[in-house]
Amino acid sequence: MNINLFHSLKGENIYFKTLDVNDAQEVHIYASDEDVSRFIGWRLMKELKETRDYIEEMIRREAAGTHLYASVVLKSTNKIIGTAMIFNFDSNANHAEIGYVFDKDFWGKGYGTETVELMNDFSFQVLNLHKLYANVIQANIGSARVLQKNGFELEGRLKDNDFIEGRYYDKLIFGKVVHR
């Protein structure tokens, strides 16, 4: 896996960089936001130390070769606005899962779509994966749109799969296959 290349991906408005514990304050802005953490699978991080610890855990996972993580940085300000990830690699089926999380001040501006596009290109051209997939809570409409804009198709629905804040939600499974 070419970790360094993943950390150096560049788009029109954003670029990726290596996760760094020294960036914990910027990451904590969205990691501690209930609106952001509600549907993404990260627990709400109330204290800066929790965010630092989680960044250290992500760095350990990446070093173990099970995950790829990058901070998503806005080119115009050099501000970290999110995190991109590729994980759950399956070498037999040649596929992996993608995920992303953004500061809510940057929702709806195309940065998620651009992030997924960068991960698509990297996954299919560099990692030579056959398929990418993503799991989305049904209420996370913006995330579903990001995937659809990048050519992902709804492949399935797990009814009442996730219980969040006293309510059940369906989990939507999106996938994208590259035909070779």
Query: Which CATH number is 98's domain given?
Result: 3.40.630.30
pLDDT in tens, 68-105: 999 999 999 999 999 999 999 999 999 999 999 999 99
Record the pTM.
0.94
Give the pairing type, strands 153-164 and 131-137.
Answer: unpaired
Q: Domain count of the chain?
A: 1
> Is 141 among the domain residues?
no
pLDDT at 113 exceeding the cut of 70: yes
pLDDT at residue number 30: 95
Question: Which residues make Cβ contacts (< 8 Å) with residue 35, sequence separation at least 6?
Answer: 104
> What's the sign of the alpha-carbon dihedral 116, 97, 152, 173?
negative
> Is 99 among the domain residues?
yes
> Is 135 among the domain residues?
no
> Is 85 among the domain residues?
yes
Q: Report how far residue 28's alpha carbon sits from residue 53's, in angstroms, rounded to the nearest whole number.
A: 11
Q: What is the DSSP letter of 172?
A: E
pLDDT at residue number 180: 54
- The stretch 161-166 carries a mean pLDDT of 88
> Is 153 among the domain residues?
no
| Tokens encoding 81 | 């606005």
pLDDT in tens, 39-58: 887 788 999 999 999 999 99
Residue-range definition of the domain harbouring residue 15: 3-129
Question: From the centroid of its chain, how far is CA 130?
Answer: 19
